[in-house]
Each structure stands twice: as structure tokens, then as C-alpha cells.
A and B are shown apart, each in its own frame.
Chain A
């Protein structure tokens, strides 16, 4: 179990580092082809497909989202030059020979127009084992304030 926890946390730390340092192409490669990235509005939502979310990205939308962040065409992505995120409080919810489900806390801080904001969230990953590595099958980012008003988020949570 400790070994699995080490492997899982190493994978999620790597993902966090890629997003903070904008290694988006590498980030896209972490995903299972059918993987889904979700940022729900409703904290209770489970049926994301039939619910309005902030983001519900399959592979094509993830790619478009990365293009938007890197193209320089979107002014709002230029004003948040840097994020710092800290995943922590890892707990493995289930695991079998194929998949691992892990939940963690994540604090992301951004500095936009000189205003420092933090978005705390619970993040649940479903990971598929891929040799010695993992692929993300589902990543659900439940923002602590998802049910309230937010500000622009010009990066990937």
C-alpha cells in the first residue's frame, strides 16, 4: 500500500508541476484517450455528463483548452502568468489490478492584476495502471466555492 501511495502521489505531484510550469503537451500525454476532466458547479453532482459544469473536457476539448492557453490569442490567459499549486491529504479510495481511485486536497494560488487568490479544492483522480506508470481516466476538481460566484480562471485547475 505504501508503495502504491508513493507511486500515486509521485504521479500527481508530477502533474501539478507540469501545470504550474505550463508543460501542457506533456500534461495532455498523461491522459487516457477516453479520459474526462471535470470541474463541477454542484458539489453533489455525480452525473457530470447530464449536468452543467465549469469544464467537462474530453480529449478534443482538453487539446483546444491547451491551444487557447498557449496561442497568445486569449487576453485573460496572459494576465495570470503563474500559478502555484499544492496537492496534499492523499487517500486511496479504491484500487485493483487495473485502476486506482485517489482523493486529495489541492490549493492553487494565482496572482492576477496584483490580486492574490487561492482556490482550495477536493480533487478525485481515477487512474489506470499503465506498466509502471498511470494514465488519467477521470479528474474531478471540486472547488470549495464552486457553488458561489467565481472570477476568471485563465489556466487549468
Chain B
């Protein structure tokens, strides 16, 4: 992208005004389909906050890397020889070619495929072919891969393009408690990414953002998933009339507790083993695991009963990370990242992966139905003239104050969507 394009893009972004398009109880339908708004979102949202890029376990040792995106910008998350993690723009300083194209893996260095410039794992420019032609032109030390600021919370690596962005811990704020609870599901072993499902749907990224805090759709969209469960488990997933809640955690984040009994996985270890995990428990018993460990692993294996929606691009969703990547105004890529325990019994990680495959991904029993609904939202949103709105007002008159002093609504309320859109509006209308 040339400087002029950048200037034009920023100018277009500056001209967008969402103040009348995002109200407390509704958002304008053009938020899903206006290309100028999308460009503004990349600048004002994705380039202006903490964006999740990786989990520490995805770069486990020196030389490990993972590629990711901050909005539209390709980045590399790497671990250097000293074990330090780096987030680098995936762009050769010479003519901009990406220097790394894999999903994840292990390398000694990053070499540009175009002219052979070689970079170390920390981004340092180590070698250029025909160096004599650069004599008196530049000093290699001034042209490393550009480092993006990153911080880590409980294994989750976030990066930001905004130089003076507040510390990650402050940004996460009230969500930290819930992230800590979420991380208990690795059964006493270090959390480890086991793989991911990647798919795209033809729709705006905010349709997906809303979905992770939308319990209301579950019994409708996921009827076939619930039908595939045993009776006891299907009752667990019948949570709309239960004691769950949605809590606004600030900065656009929210938590939706669907199954209150599965908030703290280190509690209630004496509870009876659910039917669906009886065989799993027996397998652990055959391996000679202690009763205490079996109970801990059984309690953890199905994941938590809540979704933490972190604005703008990641959620800790029951048993997996949901990551969204805006591709275009009408195209979004989703990664469903499966999680397990490093060094945990093989049976534990196998069960975690089988549960993930059951619901998630393009062939899961849940995701394709979500994607169908989202695609239909995008299509339907073109109907009408300029007076159509998306409603986010459910439960607005039944708000309470949570134990932590936050605004909370019923489990099926749209409290989390209102939290996200409030943050969205603040960022989109902020003066540069």
C-alpha cells in the first residue's frame, strides 16, 4: 500500500461517523455492509487496541513461529534463541514480501523469497546478498523486521499497533478473573493448543463477535447438536431458563455464564461423574491414575460453562479459543482453537479433541449451523432502505449489579453485545 493510498484510506476513515449509527439498544444495518466503515474499523479498532495473536504453547521453543493477523496486517509470532517471544510485521524491509508463509512451525531464520534478505528470529536483519552495493546506502541494523509491541496474560499473547496503548492487564480488567477460571480446564497441566479448525463465512466480523455472547440462539440453531447428546448432557445444555447471566466486564469485554455449575473447575470435585465421561474415567482408572486425578480430569475435560468475549477478536469460549479475522466487509475467517494439557494423559487430550470435533469446525455438529445463520443475517441485512436496524435490546429492563459491581443481565440478554458496541462506538468516534 503506497503512502498516498494510506493517506486516502485514513481520510476515508476520518469521514466515517458512526455516532448516529450505534445506539444503546440498536445498531444500524450498514455496520454489516458499508465498505468505508470496514476500512475505518481496521484503522480505528484493529490498529488501535490489543489484538490476540497466539497462545504461548504455539511457540513452545526457540525457533518456533506462528503466523497471525492484526486486522489485515500479517504478523509473525516467534521465539528467539534466548527463549524470548517477538511479534514482528511479516514484511521484508526491502520490497515488502512476506518472509514467512507457514501456519506454524520451526525455523532457524526468516529469509525473504524475493531477494534473499535474511532475518533472525528476533527480527534483526542478518544478511543481504551483494552487500557491497549497499555500502554507504544503509546500515543493516536500521532495517530489522518491524517489532510490534506485545504483552502476555496467562499464556495469551496480545499485540498492539498503538504505541501508547494501556497495559494489557488494564485493558483486560474485569475479564482477567474469567480468563484465569477458563485456564483451569487443562486439568492441572500447562494449557496447550492442540490444533484449530479454520473456516470462512460470507458476512461481517461483528456478526460473529455478537454470536459468542448470544445464548438466545443456542436451542434454535443447535437443535441437532443437542439431539446428538445423551439425555443428561442435553439437560446441561438446556440453560436459557437457568441461573446463568451475562456481565459487562468493561472495555467491550463480557462474560456469558451459561452453566453456573461449570464456572470453577477446581470446585465440586466430589460431584458424581457424568454419564458421558464414565468410559473416560474408566480408561484413566485402567492407567492407574489416582481417584483424585481422575476427578480433576473428568471435571476439566468438557471445559467451562461460560464464554468470555474479549473485544475485538478473541473469545475464551467454553472449551476453546474463538478467533476472528476480518477479511473484507462481507467476509470473515474464524479459527476455533482446540485446547488440552501439555503432558496430560493421552486419553484426556483425545477426549478434548473428540469433543471439539463434535461441535466445532466446518464438519462439526454446531459450527455449520451458526455459519448458516450468520450468512443469512448478512444477506437479509441488505433488505429495506436506509431505515433498518439490528436490535440489541433484549433484557435491557432487567439489569442487575453483579458481585463484582458490573452491569449484568439474564443469560439470554444482549448485555454482552451492548458492551461490545459501546466500546466499538467509543473507538470509532475517538479523535485521532
Contact = CB atoms under 8 A, between A and B. Distances in A.
A and B bound?
yes
Q: Which of A52, A64, A73, A79 has the most CB of B within 10 A?
A: A52
Given A54-B361, A74-B224, A151 B371 contact: yes
B228 A68 contact: yes
A61 to B, nearest CB: 7
A68 B357 contact: no
A89 interface: no
A76 B368 contact: yes
Nearest to A154: B368
A148 B358 CA distance: 20
A123 interface: no
B65 to A, nearest CB: 16
Contacts, number: 92
A76 B338 contact: no
Given A68-B365, A74-B368, A76-B368, A113 B346 contact: no
A45 to B, nearest CB: 9
Contacts of B218: none
B173 to A, nearest CB: 32
Nearest to B220: A75
Interface stretch (B28-36, B114-122, B193-201, B302-310): B193-201
A97 B198 CA distance: 41
A73 B227 contact: yes
B103 interface: yes
Nearest to B340: A52
A116 interface: no
A152 interface: yes
Nearest to B103: A147
Contact of A150 (B199, B227, B358): B199
B371 A54 contact: no
B49 interface: no
B233 interface: no
B369 A74 contact: yes
Contacts of A76: 368-369, 371-372
Contact of A55 (B196, B224, B357): B357
A68 B199 contact: no
A75 B200 CA distance: 17
B419 to A, nearest CB: 28
Interface in B199-233: 199-201, 221, 223-225, 227-228
A108 B381 CA distance: 31
A153 B358 contact: no
Contacts of A121: none
A15 to B, nearest CB: 18
A152 B372 contact: yes
B350 A50 contact: yes
A73 B357 contact: no
A149 B198 CA distance: 5
Interface string A131-147: 00000000000000001
Contacts of B61: none
A149 B200 contact: yes
B228 A67 contact: yes
Q: Which of A50, A152, A153 has the most CB of B within 10 A?
A: A152
Interface string A30-68: 000000000101100000011111111000010011011
A96 B170 CA distance: 65
20 contacts: A42-B195, A52-B195, A52-B357, A53-B357, A56-B353, A67-B227, A71-B224, A73-B223, A74-B365, A76-B372, A79-B372, A113-B375, A148-B198, A149-B200, A150-B199, A151-B199, A151-B362, A151-B371, A153-B363, A157-B363
Interface of A: 39, 41-42, 49-56, 61, 64-65, 67-68, 71, 73-77, 79, 113, 147-154, 157
Closest 5 interchain pairs by CB?
A: A52-B195, A152-B368, A74-B224, A76-B368, A73-B224
